[in-house]
Amino acid sequence: MTEFDFLEPDLLDEDHRMIREQVRRYVNDVIVPQADAWEAAGEIPRQAFRDFGALGFLGMRHPVEYGGGGLGSMASVVLGEELSRSTYGGVASAFLVHSDMSMSHIAHRGTHEQKQRYLPDCIAGTKVGAICVTEPHAGSDVAGLKTRAQRVDGGWVINGSKTFITNGVYGDIYIVAARTDPAAKGSRGISLFIVEKDNPGLKVTRKFEKHGWRASDTAELFLDDLRVADDALLGEEGKGFYYIMSTFQTERLVAGAMSTGQCSKAIELTVDYTRQRRAFGQTLWDQAVVRNKIAWMASKTAAARALLYQCAQMIDEGKDTVREVSMLKAFACETLQEVVHGCLQLHGGTGYIIGTPIERMARDARILTIGGGATEVMLEEVAKRM
Ligand SMILES: Cc1cc2nc3c(=O)[nH]c(=O)nc-3n(C[C@H](O)[C@H](O)[C@H](O)COP(=O)(O)OP(=O)(O)OC[C@H]3O[C@@H](n4cnc5c(N)ncnc54)[C@H](O)[C@@H]3O)c2cc1C
């Protein structure tokens, strides 16, 4: 623990503390020295997934039987916070989408055969996963998705398109949401399928250039008469919307962890900077207005962190957490915007220069109030439950 891990929750046990130390060491020794090159390349080398997998960090929540760690949500929280403290949001998102957002669907709903076929490789980092829900005309409104899966002899034929898919260019295993019952309205009649990269019907039509998260690849996909066998159906036919919403709870918890990890690191960098930067005959830190601003950002980060750990505990207790996790996603991700921009301001012109961590963090942070449930959508989920 450092003085920038505001509010050390009692909920962490010895395992979590050990994971935190190990991930932190890996981040400092391996990720940080290489991540500028990954940002420039717009991709993370496969070896990095394999190395991270070999340490056991890509399957901490997945069943032991398939090579996972069998741990709870708190392990994902620790992983999300520590990867995000790297200051490279793109690296964190590529690993976390793989481990906690894509593979979770197979771990939760897969048959024994599906788990056996995919989880060990994904947990080892030899295969990389993506989750394909968003479409050009259906983002926040998941029930509006139009990709169509038609039953044919021995399987399904899928047609449609997906966009903004993390790990979509270089991934191997794609969880694809498609409408299996066109007569069913809205959220009904959607199912999930497992699609492998070498399927000739899966075409990567674009790799996006992005404002932030540059080390992670983001794809537009075209599903062109894509044929899969019956055993590619994940879970029950027609329950895909429910599965997506349920896995969103993990995804949003991890987004909360990414936010608090980045907030803590941004504040740490800013305390260091303002303590050494001199102006008007004293350090910036000597100005009460500067110190107070940083203390206020630290207070909000501690509040977000308390909510984060509480939500992880509630999920692990099997409680309905939609309201609290929606509060967390909205509050932590909005707090992050205030913190990174407040910290960038205190770095002055230095914070505006490409290559400084705070400049990259400000760019990376921006997506977190949009992706995986925009703040407005999250607050509607809260309001519906009041
Ligand atoms: C870098 C990146 C990575 C991503 N990775 C993935 C991925 O791996 N898999 C995947 O499936 N998707 C992914 N996405 C998609 C992401 O989840 C969507 O962008 C997000 O759900 C918002 O959808 P949209 O972009 O279509 O915005 P829209 O739904 O068009 O919404 C635009 C804006 O309108 C506002 N808004 C929307 N709904 C409401 C409402 N009900 N009330 C009030 N205001 C509202 C919000 O401000 C919102 O930001 C990614 C996106 C990005 C940019």
Among the options 39, 43, 81, 251, which is catalytic?
251
Predicted confidence at residue 383, as pLDDT, reads 98
CATH no. for 130-238: 2.40.110.10
Residue identifier of the C-alpha nearest atom 6 of ligand 1: 165
Q: Which of 97, 102, 134 has most ligand 1 atoms within 8 Å of CB, for mutation?
A: 134
Q: 171: CA distance to ligand 1 center in Å? A: 21
Q: 305-344: string of b/e by CB count within 10 Å (b at 16+)?
A: bebbbebbbbbeeeeebbebbbbbbbbbbbbbbebbbbbb
Which of 8-12, 54-58, 72-76, 161-165 shows the lowest per-residue confidence on average (mean pLDDT)?
8-12
Residue identifier of the C-alpha nearest atom 29 of ligand 1: 140
Atom of ligand 1 nearest to the CA of 373: 21
pLDDT digits (tens, 9 = 90+) for 197-220: 999 999 999 999 999 999 999 999
DSSP 234-269: ESSTTBHHHHHHHHHHHHHHHHHHHHHHHHHHHHHH
Predicted confidence at residue 10, as pLDDT, reads 73
C-beta separation of 302 from 339 below 8 A: no
How many beta carbons lie within 10 A of that of residue 348, not counting itself?
Answer: 13
Averaged over 147-170, what is the pLDDT?
A: 98
Residue identifier of the C-alpha nearest atom 36 of ligand 1: 376
Q: 132: CA distance to ligand 1 center in Å? A: 13
Coil, strand, or helix at residue 200?
Answer: coil
Averaged over 140-169, what is the pLDDT?
A: 97
pLDDT digits (tens, 9 = 90+) for 49-105: 999 999 999 999 999 999 999 999 999 999 999 999 999 999 999 999 999 999 999
Q: CA dihedral in degrees (330, 108, 100, 12; nearest 10)? A: 80
Q: What angle do CA 142, 147, 150 make, to 5 degrees?
A: 130
Ligand 1 neighbours by CB, cut-off 6 Å:
97, 131-134, 139-140, 164-166, 210, 213, 218, 367, 370-372, 374, 376-377, 380
Atom of ligand 1 nearest to the CA of 213: 1
Predicted confidence at residue 12, as pLDDT, reads 85
Domain with CATH 1.10.540.10 in the chain: 14-128
pLDDT digits (tens, 9 = 90+) for 301-315: 999 999 999 999 999
Confidence of residue 1 (pLDDT cuts 50, 70, 90): low
Predicted confidence at residue 242, as pLDDT, reads 97
State the fold for domain 241-384: Butyryl-CoA Dehydrogenase, subunit A; domain 3 (1.20.140)
* Count of residues in the chain: 386
Atom of ligand 1 nearest to the CA of 177: 11
Q: Measuring CA to CA, how many Å separate 71 from each of 21, 32, 78, 85, 247?
A: 16, 26, 12, 22, 16
Give 11 or 284, the one with higher predicted confidence: 284
36-42 long-range contacts (CB < 8 A, ≥24 apart) are: 36/355, 38/88, 38/90, 38/91, 38/215, 39/88, 39/90, 39/214, 39/215, 39/360, 40/214, 41/215, 42/207, 42/209, 42/214, 42/215, 42/217
Pick from 165, 183, 181: nearest CA to 128: 165
Atom of ligand 1 nearest to the CA of 210: 1
Averaged over 170-177, what is the pLDDT?
A: 98
Averaged over 139-156, what is the pLDDT?
A: 97
Q: 143: CA distance to ligand 1 center in Å? A: 13
Assigned token pair, 221: 């996909």
Pick from 128, 64, 55: nearest CA to 96: 128
Pick from 360, 180, 166: nearest CA to 255: 166
Q: 374: CA distance to ligand 1 center in Å? A: 6
- Tell me which H or E stretch contains 160: strand 155-166
CATH architecture for the domain at 14-128:
Orthogonal Bundle (1.10)
Catalytic site includes residue 334 = no
C-beta separation of 329 from 373 below 8 A: yes
Predicted confidence at residue 11, as pLDDT, reads 78
Q: 164: CA distance to ligand 1 center in Å? A: 9
C-beta separation of 330 from 378 below 8 A: yes
Assigned token pair, 73: 């949500």
Q: 156: CA distance to ligand 1 center in Å? A: 28
Residue identifier of the C-alpha nearest atom 31 of ligand 1: 140
Cα separation of 376 and 316, whole Å? Answer: 26
Averaged over 223-242, what is the pLDDT?
A: 98
How, if at all, do strands 155-166 and 218-229 pair? antiparallel
How, if at all, do strands 129-132 and 173-179 pair? parallel
Please say if the pLDDT value at position 185 is more than 90.
no
Atom of ligand 1 nearest to the CA of 166: 8
